[in-house]
Structure 1
Amino acid sequence: MTAPAFLTGGGETGALMRGHDWSSSPLGNPAGWPPRLRSVVELLLGSKFPMFVAWGAELGFLYNDAYAEILGAKHPRALGARFHDIWAEIWPDILPLIEAAMAGVATYREDLPLLMNRRGFDEQTWFTFSYSPVRDEEGRVAGMYCAVAETTGRVLMERKQAFLVRLGDTLRGLNDPHALPTLAAELLGTELGADRAGYGIIDASGEVVSVERDWTAGRVASLAGEARILDAFGPAVIAELRAGRTLVVEDCQADPRTSRPAYLPTWDSIGTRALIVAPLIRSGRLAAILYVHSGGPRHWTGVEAELVEEAAGRTWDAVQRAWALADLRESEERLQLALDASGMVGLYDWLVPQDRLFADARFARLFGVDPDRAAAGAPLADFKRVIHPEDAARVEAAMKRTLETGEPYEAEYRLLRDGGEVHWVAARGRCLHDGGGMPKRFSGTVVDITDRKQAEERQALLSREVDHRAKNALSVVQAALRLTRAPDLPTYARAIEGRVAALARAQTLLADRQWSGADLLTLLRGELDGFLDRDGGGPQAEVDGPPVSLPAGAAQPLAMAIHELATNAVKYGALSAPEGRVEVNWTVEGGLPDRLRLRWTERGGPALKKSPERRGFGTRVLDGTVRGQLGGTLSLGWRPSGLVCELDVPLRPGPPPGDGEVDAAPV
């Protein structure tokens, strides 16, 4: 039979129409098709744009070569078939549009999403099309006509780009190298509607993959942990990855790379039937993988594979950046600990041409500048204002020398803070110059050396004090040697030894207190030690009074005075008899300075009939130390019951040490 004229041409589909068996089609023999249908078929067969027409009560389906590509495996069996039978899987989505067209209303949709099955698997597609009614010769709507364009590729590409932008924005805002891979995997897995996604690191041997955390949609288990990739996935899979090729598997049970009997149980055990794995090759070796798994078979589009590849690269870059930042933070923390341990106060960076000095918070606080202002950059003058006026010229000269010559900057100087507080700092720095030899930036550090300076001052003071006290001690020894009288040499030696021992004890007390003074009670106990806690019969000496810290200048003279009183009591007074007693009491009266009033009372010793006719060495020592050295008053009462001595001395610091004067000269 000769084909109707309107079926001439039309490419492959036209040829199929001409040879098609129309007996089972609701459209019947083309020779009996109405003129309007013939016109539409002739129109679409002559077009390169995808078109179809559905005609009659059962909507018999006709289309051209361009539309055949959209049908996929449904072509050519779709030719002449019922519209519903061809697109049963999307019928609920398009039925309202079909009904509108058959009711005489044209419809238009742009990028309509449709889940089609045209090649044996479900795939998400997008289409832009118009359904238009086609009327017969009587004006009744007898069918519908469609011009359609598949926009799946463009929509997927736009979605891919939008996802990559979103992924990049998310990764840039996250610096945790542990959380970052998991978040990237979650974003990717959600975007692709996958069941699992994760990021694995390959060790240096290339044999073990480590997954810290991955993402799942809740239908499969996590793969966090370590696995030997060759043992788990097989040589074919690993060869693909090591070659830098993205692994795309639509069904693990059918793909020859994954369906080998030795490795198929691996995929079953982790609930995976389809996957995309993008390798990261760095320095010639497999360094990491980004995997996306599906629990069932799935067709992956080329755009989806590209999306995984690009996400893998961006995730790798973000992870490496995060690790670099983490290492930098750790290095900074180590540096900060080192700075803290070394007493480092702060860092500064002075941009010389702009006169903007940037400093950290500790430097800023030391120089009395608001830390936020210092961090944003402030003029050098804001920091220089606290330099001690006596040091300012020296500091200025040192900085000028560095600016002009480039030699290292070093200076130790004082900072005079509000309220008169003084801090010592040691400043160090270097100056960089531009190609023309002009200073460009001046950077360095400052160390708070206040404690060191104070220690040095204390040490110098202590040295002067020791020198001064040593001179005094030698002077007292010389005086004792010169003025002590005794009937024989042994007696003379004992007298000298006792006085030198008293002096030594006072020296020891001062040394124990770092020459800052001596405790009065300790001094008294040292001179009366044998009489305070005597076995049987109770103590012969009692001391009582408030705590008193004697100034350094008063300790030695007072020790000598007490020693002479004790020596006199042992030889001639209360301590020469078993029944004798000595009481030492004292009080402190406030004033400028405070005054020590000490009373030495003897009783129970040999009766005194009158005061001594001449002054001995001990009396001269008492008078010389109390009046001459301490600036106090002395009262000696020679009563029948025993000696009563009253001392009244000011508790003022001694004369400045190192002045060349000797305290013990009055002896």
Structure 2
Amino acid sequence: MPSRDGFLIEGGETGALLRAFDWSTSPLRSPAHWPQALKTLVGVMLGSQQPMLIVWGPDYVTLYNDGYAAMCGARHPAALGGSFRDLWHDIWDQVEPILARAYAGEATHMDGIAFIMHRNGYPEETYFSFGYTPVRDDEGQVAGMFCACAETTGRLQAEREASAERRRLEQLFAQAPSFMAVLRGPQHRFELANPAYLRLVGDRPLIGRTVAEALPDAAAQGYLDLLDTVYRSGEAFTATASPITLQVEAGGPESERYLDFVYQPIFGDDGTVTGVFVEGVDVTDRALAEIALRRNEAELRFLNADLERQVILRSHERGLTWQVSPDLLGVFHPDGYFERLNPAWEIILGWTESEVAGRSVVELIHPDDAGRSRQAIDALRANMPVFRFENRYRTRDGRYRWISWTAVPEGGRAYCSGRDITEDKAREAALDQAQEALRQAQKMEAVGQLTGGVAHDFNNLLTVIKSSTDLLKRPGLPEERRARYVDAISDTVARAAKLTGQLLAFARRQALKPEIFNAITSVTAISEMVGTLTGARIEIVLEVPDAPAYVHADPSQFDTALVNMAVNARDAMDGHGRLTIRVRPVEGIPPLGIGMGAFVAVSLTDTGGGIAPEALHRIFEPFYTTKGVGQGTGLGLSQVFGFAKQSGGEVLAESVPGRGATFTLYLPRIADAVPADPVPEEAEPLTDGHGTCVLVVEDNPEVGGFATQTLAELGYHTVWATNAADALRQIEKIPYRFEVVFSDVVMPGMNGIELAKEIAKRRPDLPVVLASGYSHVLAEEGSHGFELLHKPYSVEQLSRVLRRAVARSRRERLRS
């Protein structure tokens, strides 16, 4: 059942617990009497996914949302509504000074703060990022504290583990017997070089220098050209017994060496080459021996020895690559297991070859990846030429690491290479988390702007109403002044209703009354009124097609949107210029390339100063305005935005600074339509109810009491039911007692629309009039054909709608 306290909504499990909490035993007492600052904070907190906490009053009463509940562990839900001191008693000596600073009026923000917590029955090291913000009451005194926080324990632990893994790989790189180096960029700048590489080229500075700078002797012998070819083509280059002349010691003699090596391109995430991996062995001794052997033996033996040398070198090369590769290498059998694995499996995952070889890989794969992995095995059985795949493998200590696989089938087997991309995935997750935090911050900024704007405008309206009611209480007030104050209250209520309507329009929560009408007719009629609004110094140019342009929308809201855009254009031109209003049929919404279908586009183009680029994307935000103080609420364009979206259309703004602006409203176009006949609004004095019996259904005591009193003064007999179930009992109690039902829409349990439908089933002859200030059901589904009276309503409107409903019902009974 929805809460009567408008701020105690949503919030998931914790929100439900707050609504069900017995506040009679709490220092805060009933939520209805909570300070407005506390209500606002609770509403914001329950509507957010970010962990949030409120500590209120001298007793440190604790309120939080689902996000913070997860951080409390086993202490939730007992901590909800209790003392903050009891919640974190084990770390109170660390928390209390920070809380005291907040209660003293000082805001605090801290990152990576370590705590030893006993929240799950055992001590654990945790890390948090949080901010404690003091909250002041109406007198400016600190009444409590608001905290938005996030636990960073997992991220810091992951960073520690990643750092340890990097050190292990660096140790492996440093201890490798073959020489290795990593070159980056088209200039082949040294990023890494292991000790074996330094022994090969001599004690010279490498890191940060290019090959041309660090090894000019190697560059002059063609090795730089080979690197350029690998970098440009993305294809590896392998050499055996390649001769090179190097000066190992500065100023010393040159030495001729023979090398087996490979230049392997390094690819970035986007598939482009970002560097070259160099790996090889010094085979000078063997090469020189083979050269001597070839010189001294016969040609046949020379050829045989050469062939043997090639075989040995090839085998040795493959063996070295297999042994020192930092990636997982393996020979995969189509039945789902590895036959052979290289040492990197033990380095990365902790499994030895004997523990994995012959074992089904599905046993080591994360359960969420098992289904996709089986599909990958099936693809390998189908001899897919080159196969790439990602999944998570379990390590020996029970953790999981992300592996990116490349596999090539050959001879009934698949030769696989797997690269550990766990750190890349962690960085991606951290980036996503940062982007989500940014989105949440932007939402909070928008909520703050919206609530601040609403509070400002409604405080102005309430000031007029309060002043007028205070003056009306003064004794001996002349009739003229009394009438003036009453008129001021009435006008201010109308302005408040307009402000509420604009907010509902922006939120797309107003109850629209769509009908089919010719947009050209409405634009033509409104253009005449626009001329009055803009003044004689602004020229109005109307461009409309000859054929009708029918749309399906609320004509009243359509007229309001046109007036709001026209007033905005008038203010932009400072009362002088030309306003062009153009209507045209379009297919889709051309600037966006979206909204396939037929639309009617209504454009208003002014010759004002235009809109600054940095403000263009914010002009439809509620209460955002570039005008001076007192020159507008900033809700006019937000009404246009909400009306367009709720009507299935769009509104777009285009502007070049100094060359004016164009606002275009797109509404769905209806072909071959028959517009509805306009029903003129009745203007009549109050009429006597003549004893008509009305069933009033209203759960709010103040509104229900006022409605029954008003109807009594109008000559109606009334029976008041506080909910739908009571209303149905009253209807069945005395058949045909009531001639009309006047019901609110938003009520606990069965709402007004559901009640009206049930009455239509039981008593189809009994008319129902609905009243609502806001209902998401009305906004999404409409009034379902029932008469609807918008709050706040006047006595004249109430009298007219009831008389009309009763008269219609009586006519229908006479016909039958």
TM-score for the superposition, normalised by structure 1: 0.29
Report which of the two structures shows the higher radius of gyration computed on alpha carbons: 1
Q: TM-score, normalised by structure 2?
A: 0.24
RCO higher in 1 or 2 (8 Å CA, sep ≥ 6)?
1
